[in-house]
Structure 1
Amino acid sequence: MDLFSSEKVINILPFDGTTNNHGIILSKSEADFYFKTLLETIPWEHDQAIIFGKIITTKRKVAWFGDSEFSYTYSKITKKAKIWTDELFALKKIIEKETNETYNSCLLNLYHSGEEGMAYHSDGEKMLKKNGAIASLSLGATRNFSFKHKKNNQKVAVILEHGSLLVMKDETQTHWLHRLPTTKKVTSPRINLTFRTIEL
């Protein structure tokens, strides 16, 4: 089977946006290598958000990398990017070739088990390129991922496997929310890399 065949890329949203499921784009040995290396070498930190005026520290951990040390603000918290590691830069090139897009930054999330997830939200920060592509690479545990339309609440679900790629673009963030639901069935960690474009 050709892992890199574009014929398997499908838009999973029925309307109001484009979210392409590229399926598994890395071989198991490649995915295993990047998962182990990132897990052990990335300077992971607990994420923080300001909610109703209070600083909330999440169980999941994050890291922020990019072309330069620019700042990025989400959930009212500002982070400064670190320069790409060799492994992250290599993954960026792989994903740029796969998606025919370019990216200048990456937000990494480490979920230690299925008990850690993300509530419904959209990535609508003003610093992000309007309707730009956000490429989400999954490494580690298989997790469910779901979308909900902002007006009619229609839902779409997809399974994200080790080495798989999901790309949200066009008007997806305008019309759809997305989440990583929690589950007690998953006991192993997952790393999610979201490559994106910050407009400076």
Structure 2
Amino acid sequence: MKLFDDITDKAKNWLPQDGTVNYYGKLLTTEQADFYLNKLLETIEWRNDEAIIFGKKIITKRKVAWYGEKPFEYTYSNTTKYALSWTKELLDLKTLIEKETGETFNSCLLNLYHNGEEGMAWHSDGETDLKKDGAIGSLSFGAERKFAFKHKQTKEKVELILEHGSLLVMKDITQTHWLHRLPPTKKVTTPRVNLTFRTIIN
């Protein structure tokens, strides 16, 4: 019965309108997820994120990294990054979620949140470099965190908990009509690594 429930959940659209969000739950065993979390912490070239807001340069505590099949440029918050070459682990995870979802991805933006006090403000991934209405596959490792969506017009909210080793996919017109965020929390004291697989259009 559990297996049937899991299959049903993957097809469920968590958004009531104007977009598609599917939560696949855990794709990996706890042991596999632990392995990837440790590998990502050790091997990824993490950097503090930079953003230029109202002409002022902001350095975040949260760290980021940008990888892809080519040295793609990716610009957001008025800063530009150039993709590093895939690591073995990132390629393995890309293959896993492509097989699971039927989507294809050519790049990955990674986020490292050291604890629950680090989060992400409301935003949508609407950069011109991204494939319009393309899928974004979000893999989570480490601390379980709440993830929230808010409709840009109605302000309706949808929240779910992202588990260690789990996959969330946002696609179709989601970015046009919904904002999303990772709210900070003092209850979480351990790190979370998030991989957002994307498609960049040259």
Task: Name the TM-score, length of structure 1 as normaliser.
Answer: 0.97
| 68-77 vs 170-179, which moves further | 68-77
Alpha-carbon displacement from aligned partner over 1:26-82 (angstroms, at most 9, x marks no partner):
111110100000011111000001100111000000000000111111111000000
Q: Distance in 2 between matches of 1:2 and 1:192?
A: 26
- The alpha-carbon deviation at position 173 of structure 1 amounts to 0.3
In structure 1, what is the equivalent of residue 8 of structure 2? 7
- The alpha-carbon deviation at position 124 of structure 1 amounts to 0.2
Q: Distance in 2 between matches of 1:125 and 1:199?
A: 11
Q: Equivalent residue of 1:131, what SS?
A: coil
In the alignment, does 2:94 pair up with 1:92? yes
Q: Distance in 2 between matches of 1:26 and 1:18?
A: 23
In the alignment, does 2:71 pair up with 1:69? yes
Q: Equivalent residue of 1:153, what SS?
A: coil
Q: Distance in 2 between matches of 1:77 and 1:99?
A: 31
Which residue identity does 1:153 align to in structure 2?
K
Change (3 A) 1:73 1:162: same
Q: Percent identity?
A: 66
Q: Equivalent residue of 2:108, what SS?
A: strand
Q: Distance in 1 between matches of 2:178 and 2:55?
A: 26
Q: Equivalent residue of 1:58, what SS?
A: strand
Q: Distance in 1 between matches of 2:72 and 2:3?
A: 37
In structure 1, what is the equivalent of residue 173 of structure 2? 171
Which residues in structure 2 correspond to 1:27-176 (within 5 Å)?
27-176=29-178
In structure 1, the gaps of 5 or more residues are none
What RMSD, in angstroms, separates the aligned Cα atoms of the two structures?
A: 1.1
In structure 2, the gaps of 5 or more residues are none
Q: Distance in 2 between matches of 1:32 and 1:197?
A: 27
In the alignment, does 2:27 pair up with 1:25? yes
- The alpha-carbon deviation at position 7 of structure 1 amounts to 3.2
Q: Distance in 1 between matches of 2:95 and 2:27?
A: 13
Following superposition, which runs of at least 4 residues in structure 1 exceed 6 angstroms of deviation?
A: none
Which residue identity does 1:133 align to in structure 2?
A
Alpha-carbon displacement from aligned partner over 1:155-180 (angstroms, at most 9, x marks no partner):
00000010011000000000000000
Which residue identity does 1:24 align to in structure 2?
K
- The alpha-carbon deviation at position 2 of structure 1 amounts to 5.0
In structure 1, what is the equivalent of residue 198 of structure 2? 196
Which residue identity does 1:7 align to in structure 2?
T
Q: Distance in 2 between matches of 1:180 and 1:70?
A: 26
Q: Number of matched residues?
A: 199
Q: Equivalent residue of 1:135, what SS?
A: strand
